[in-house]
């Protein structure tokens, strides 16, 4: 997202949902416009990060990196894309979960080692950041001093570890990046889906639990790796398969080869199905849109209610609301209109207008609401402040009853694997019962989808997911303190 830090902070305060870490894309296609393909791929992944966008391209000798703050269409135009000529590229869109929102933390990251160097893009969040920083001899709160200056991300730690491997174990067979990864990857804990490149190789990596998705596609003249299948579709690539948990795939002139660096124990983030992934993507071979509709159907069977209309909180609540309406027989309708442009044109309001912030994003259709008993469906409730304002807005528009239905269980635990949910004290359901939340929101009834029903709705095996934010069961041990900000220091310490 563009604008000043204050503007971005206010936009975040208006966000009704969870922030995700990032989206990654890579393409190896000699003779084809790889920068333009990467631009399209990032455009398809824009929902995964709106703070910054970047593309790195290799022509076989030199790696060129262009990145900036803002949306993909704001960072890149024909003038910026035209000079990016080459045969392979990677791209990244960012939503910060570690490190501040600034240009120095934008990706892809670059290190000028060996002849051409390498570039890296990361989706996820590491849980052993402090230990890795200690390995590099860093003091607590010390940022990583890299080619782009002082950074505060776990991604930069990985780049620095790889650069050190380059220096300590030089090679002459062109496999520097691949071998450096083989040495570094076993030392990483937490969530990481990487795309990396040197002058001749495109590499995709997924952590042994597969917390974040990564897929392999075949396109004319080459291959594509991306966070979601929707990014393959936009560049005309065929979905070959998922990159497996604990797998590294290397793509070059000889084709695709696979290497294992860890024992797989799949735990895809369940919220990829609930909210993060685009509805036109596939996860575990299942349509995300169809799964979300099934969530709504299960919710209608679990928590029926007499009402006149089923309506979503747009846009993430739409598929589940459609499923609820279909299973319940209650007519589906629209009750709220979303301003699709608020993220691009937002201007910081005066203090007196900030309380009306929700109306910058949502406005009621009074003629559809007045005098009706409503079932309002959303995918999740995190902090609850926006949901409370939405309910008040519907009441003001004349709704006689508001019954809230949520297509996931109560969100009770913070995420350490790549979602921006803050501390547990900030989560509405952490210490409140469903009844207490109902009173806080001011609704006539409230129901959350049970975890077993949610898992069944995905169509995938129930043991295939990370449910830590819903159950408190963390597949990878997490630090006692929030490690996501371990590289950030107080201003005085960083002066």
* Active site residues per annotation: 22
- Classified as helix, coil or strand, 371 is coil
**Phi/psi at 387 (nearest 5 deg)?**
-60, -40
- Closest alpha carbon to 109 in 153, 44, 166: 153
Contact by Cβ (8 Å): 141, 152? no
Pick from 270, 271, 328, 273: which is nearest to 297 by CA? 328
Q: Which residues pair with 179 in a beta bridge?
A: none
Distance between CA atoms of 226 and 248, rounded to whole angstroms?
14
Q: Which helix (H) or strand (E) holds 225?
A: strand 222-226
Q: If DSSP codes are grouped into helix, strand and coil, which group holds residue 389?
A: helix
Q: Is the peptide bond before 108 cis (omega within 30 degrees of 0)?
A: yes
Q: Parallel, antiparallel, or unpaired: how do β-strands 118-123 and 336-338 relate?
A: unpaired
Residues 395, 91: Cα–Cα separation, whole Å: 44
> By C-alpha distance, which of 156, 261, 278, 128 is closest to 213?
278
Burial 440-456 (b: 16+ CB within 10 A, else e): bbebbebbbbebebbbe
Q: Which residue has the tokens 């807005």?
A: 393
- For 358, the enclosing helix (H) or strand (E) is none
Q: Cα dist. 133→94, 118, 153, 275, 384 in Å?
A: 22, 21, 11, 32, 36
Hey, is 50 helix, strand or coil? coil
Q: What are the tokens at 463?
A: 């043991």
| DSSP conformation class of 482 | -
Long-range contact list for 476-481, CB < 8 A, 24+ apart?
476/127, 476/189, 476/190, 476/209, 476/416, 476/417, 477/127, 477/189, 478/127, 478/416, 479/127, 479/128, 479/130, 479/416
């Amino acid at each position: 997202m563009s604008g000043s830090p204050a503007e971005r902070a206010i936009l975040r305060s208006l966000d009704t949902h969870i922030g995700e870490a990032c989206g990654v894309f890579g393409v190896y296609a000699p003779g084809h416009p790889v920068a333009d393909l990467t631009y399209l791929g990032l455009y398809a992944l824009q929902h995964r990060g709106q703070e910054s966008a970047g593309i790195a391209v290799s022509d076989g000798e030199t790696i060129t990196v262009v990145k900036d703050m803002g949306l993909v269409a704001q960072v890149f135009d024909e003038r910026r894309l035209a000079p990016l000529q080459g045969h392979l590229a990677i791209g990244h869109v960012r939503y910060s979960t570690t490190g501040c929102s600034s240009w120095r933390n934008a990706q892809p990251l670059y290190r000028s080692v060996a002849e051409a160097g390498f570039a890296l893009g990361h989706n996820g969040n590491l849980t052993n950041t402090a230990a890795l920083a200690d390995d590099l001899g860093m003091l607590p709160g010390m940022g990583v001093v890299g080619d782009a200056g002082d950074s505060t991300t776990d991604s930069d730690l990985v780049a620095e570890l790889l650069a050190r491997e380059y220096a300590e174990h030089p090679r002459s067979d062109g496999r520097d990046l691949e071998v450096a990864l083989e040495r570094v990857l076993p030392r990483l804990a937490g969530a990481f889906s990487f795309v990396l490149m040197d002058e001749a190789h495109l590499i995709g990596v997924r952590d042994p639990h597969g917390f974040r998705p990564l897929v392999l596609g075949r396109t004319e003249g080459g291959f594509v790796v991306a966070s979601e299948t929707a990014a393959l579709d936009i560049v005309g690539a065929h979905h070959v398969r998922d990159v497996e948990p604990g797998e590294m795939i290397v793509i070059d002139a000889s084709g695709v080869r696979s290497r294992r660096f860890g024992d797989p124990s799949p735990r895809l983030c369940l919220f990829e199905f609930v909210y993060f992934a685009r509805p036109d993507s596939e996860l575990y071979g299942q349509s995300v849109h169809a799964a979300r509709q099934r969530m709504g159907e299960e919710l209608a069977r679990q928590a029926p209610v007499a009402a006149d209309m089923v309506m979503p909180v747009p846009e993430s609540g739409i598929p589940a609301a459609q499923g609820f309406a279909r299973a319940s027989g209650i007519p589906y309708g629209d009750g709220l209109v979303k301003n699709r442009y608020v993220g691009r044109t937002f201007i910081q309001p005066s203090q007196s207008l900030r309380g009306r912030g929700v109306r910058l994003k949502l406005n009621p259709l009074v003629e559809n609401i007045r005098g009706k008993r409503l079932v309002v469906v959303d995918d999740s409730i995190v902090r609850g402040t926006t949901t409370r304002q939405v309910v008040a807005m519907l009441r003001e528009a004349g709704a006689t009853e508001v019954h809230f239905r949520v297509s996931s269980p109560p969100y009770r635990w913070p995420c350490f694997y790549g979602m921006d949910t803050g501390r547990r004290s900030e989560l509405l359901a952490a210490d409140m019962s469903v009844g207490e939340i109902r009173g806080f929101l001011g609704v006539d009834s409230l129901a959350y989808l049970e975890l077993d029903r949610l898992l069944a709705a995905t169509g995938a095996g129930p043991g295939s997911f990370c449910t830590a934010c819903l159950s408190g069961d963390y597949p990878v041990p997490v630090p006692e303190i929030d490690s996501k900000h371990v590289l950030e220091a107080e201003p005085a310490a960083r002066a």
